[in-house]
Structure 1
Amino acid sequence: MSDWILAAEGTEAGHRIALMLAIMAAVLHAVFGALQKGRHDPWLTRGAIDISYGVMAAPVALFVVPWPEPHMWIIFATAWVIHVVYKLLQAWAYTKGAFTVVYPVVRGTGPLFAVFGAWIVFGEVFTPVQWLGVAVLLSGIFGLALYNMRHLVAARETLHAALGLAVITGLFVALYTTYDAYGIRATADPFTFLAWFFMIDGFVMPLIALRRWTGMPPDLRPAPGPLMLRGFLGGIIAFFSFGAIMLATRLDKVGEAAVLRETSTVFAALIGVVFLKETVGPRRVALMTLIAAGAVIVEMGGT
């Protein structure tokens, strides 16, 4: 598998595979976000997810993939710090605001700064047509957030705090997207980066979640069984979502993958309607169409 990925780097076939991986990551990331915002406290859900994928990744990292090269340890340490801060901010934002408000702002802020990060770190340059696509996509994402804000009923008193946290979280999305792309390109085997990252990343949020769970009144504590089942499902989704976007950034341009992943906002809105019982109308459909159209323009406008 690693040899196949390495052989496809920088080729037309690699570009097509990266496109499919980015779209797959978008769908799965929307599912992941709804899973964290859903039934349980976001802090508890994130802790259950992280311990699940950390435990599942450990045997792969230790016994299956090649061990990291010496220079990778500082890269893992830095990536770990970035992701811990990102997850703390995301969980905090979800406790302050509605999913359909917070999620679009986070995902709208992320790709814009990721494009600049890819330019600074990797020398990637978007064409004028692709910048038009970014503008169309972002207008749809932020338009969706504004629409949801106007029709928000619950949690209006914490709306400003939620929006501020969402913007900062989006900045960290851009930071981890760019830095992780650097990390996965810095090792000979991309699956070494993925396995070791998941193992290292999986053992911070569970400690925070355990402390939060034990501090709850006994009658308010969620049952461990359903919570851990949600964590296991989230861990599987995280493998494929994060793994797909990281492989896409190794195969092709980081900026394009980052923008295409943000079509997750469309899928998140659909999840919000179907599973979280949130309403939708023609205006939101039009805004979601803008997001999808922007992604198509970015893809078609590449040189």
Structure 2
Amino acid sequence: MSEYLRSIEGTPAGHDLALVLALVAAVLHALFGALQKGRHDPWLSRAAIDASYGLIAVPFALFLVPWPEPHMWVIFAGAIVIHSLYKVLQAMTYSRGAFTVVYPVVRGTGPFFTVIGAGIVFGETFAPGQWAGLMLLVCGILGLAAWNLAHVTVDRATMVPALGLAVLTGAMVATYTTYDAYGIRATADPFTFLAWFFMLDGIFIPLLTHRRWRQLPAVEIVPLLKRGVLGAFVAYFSFGAIMLATRLDKVGEAAVLRETSTVFAALIGWLVLGEKVGPARAGLMALIAVGAVIMEWAG
């Protein structure tokens, strides 16, 4: 598999596979966000997920993939710091704001900053039509957040700080997307980066939240651990898909397509959380999809 992926990097076949991977990541990322914003403490939900994917990754990292080259250890250290900060901000955001409001803000600010970062780091350029598609997508996402803000009734007292934290979290999404794209391109085998990243990244949040586990009712432990294992596999395929997409093709395009996750998040809110999707939200969701299509077509 690794050899095949290396053989199609930068080719039309690589571009097509990157498109599919980015859309898969979008669907799974929406599910991943919903798992963190369920009935459990977002901090503990994240800790259960991280601990699960960290432990599952151990045999793969140690025995099944090539060990990282010496220069990768510095890259891994930077990735862990960036992701740790991102996850702290994300948990703070989800614990203060309604999922349907803060999630679109996080995802709406991310692609714009990522496209800029990809231009600086990787020298990527985008046609005027692609910028227009990006603006449509971002406007649709932020418009969805504004609509939700006007109509949601939960977490109103903490919504303003939640929105500020959501913007900061979006900036961290752009940071880790660009940095991780650099990291996965810096090693010969992309699965080396993924396996070692998951193993190392699964340490920080469980350690940070160990005191919260003592306050958790015993009856909640098993359901939370089940959510952690489910979230671990969602994370593998979501993060793995988008990282492989950024190695195969443009980082900016993959990041923009991933942010159609806001459409899938709205659908999850409607189908799973019982939230209503009226004409206004449906129109904004369509605008997001149109922006993504234009971004891809204009390229």
The equivalent residue for 2:293 is 296
> How is 1:149-228 mapped onto 2 (pairs within 5 angstroms)?
149-214=149-214, 216=215, 220=217, 223-228=220-225
Residues 20-51 of structure 1, C-alpha deviations (whole Å, 9 max, x = no match): 00000000000000000012111111000000
TM-score of the superposed pair, with normalisation by structure 1: 0.97
State the one-letter code of the partner of 1:155: D
* Aligned mates of 2:219, 2:4 — CA distance in 1: 44
* Aligned mates of 1:104, 1:246 — CA distance in 2: 21
Tell me the secondary structure at the aligned position of residue 209 of structure 2. helix
Please, which runs of 5 or more residues in structure 1 have no aligned partner? Answer: none
Residues 141-195 of structure 1, C-alpha deviations (whole Å, 9 max, x = no match): 0000000001121111111100000000000000000000000000000000000
The equivalent residue for 2:251 is 254
> How is 1:1-303 mapped onto 2 (pairs within 5 angstroms)?
1-214=1-214, 216=215, 220=217, 223-302=220-299
State the one-letter code of the partner of 2:43: W
Tell me the secondary structure at the aligned position of residue 223 of structure 1. helix
State the one-letter code of the partner of 2:258: R
Shift of 1:278: 1.5
Residues 74-93 of structure 1, C-alpha deviations (whole Å, 9 max, x = no match): 00000000000000000110
State the one-letter code of the partner of 1:58: V
Shift of 1:222: 5.3
Give yes or no for contact 1:40–1:222 (8 Å, CA) kept in 2: no
* Aligned mates of 1:135, 1:125 — CA distance in 2: 16
Shift of 1:280: 1.4
Give yes or no for contact 1:80–1:201 (8 Å, CA) kept in 2: yes
State the one-letter code of the partner of 2:252: G
* Aligned mates of 2:213, 2:149 — CA distance in 1: 31
Residues 187-210 of structure 1, C-alpha deviations (whole Å, 9 max, x = no match): 000000000000000011112232
Give yes or no for contact 1:38–1:276 (8 Å, CA) kept in 2: no
State the one-letter code of the partner of 1:278: E
Q: When the two structures are aligned, how many residues end up with a matched partner?
A: 299
Give yes or no for contact 1:134–1:298 (8 Å, CA) kept in 2: yes
Residues 205-245 of structure 1, C-alpha deviations (whole Å, 9 max, x = no match): 1122321121x2x6x56521111010000000000000000
* Aligned mates of 1:11, 1:185 — CA distance in 2: 15
* Aligned mates of 1:137, 1:221 — CA distance in 2: 44
* Aligned mates of 1:156, 1:207 — CA distance in 2: 31
Closer/same/farther in 2, CA of residues 278 and 96 from structure 1, 3 Å limit: same
* Aligned mates of 2:193, 2:286 — CA distance in 1: 35
TM-score of the superposed pair, with normalisation by structure 2: 0.99
RMSD of the TM alignment (CA)? Answer: 0.9
State the one-letter code of the partner of 1:77: A
Residues 107-159 of structure 1, C-alpha deviations (whole Å, 9 max, x = no match): 00000000000000000011000000001101100000000001121111111
Tell me the secondary structure at the aligned position of residue 277 of structure 2. coil
Closer/same/farther in 2, CA of residues 222 and 117 from structure 1, 3 Å limit: farther
Regions of 4+ moved over 4 Å: none
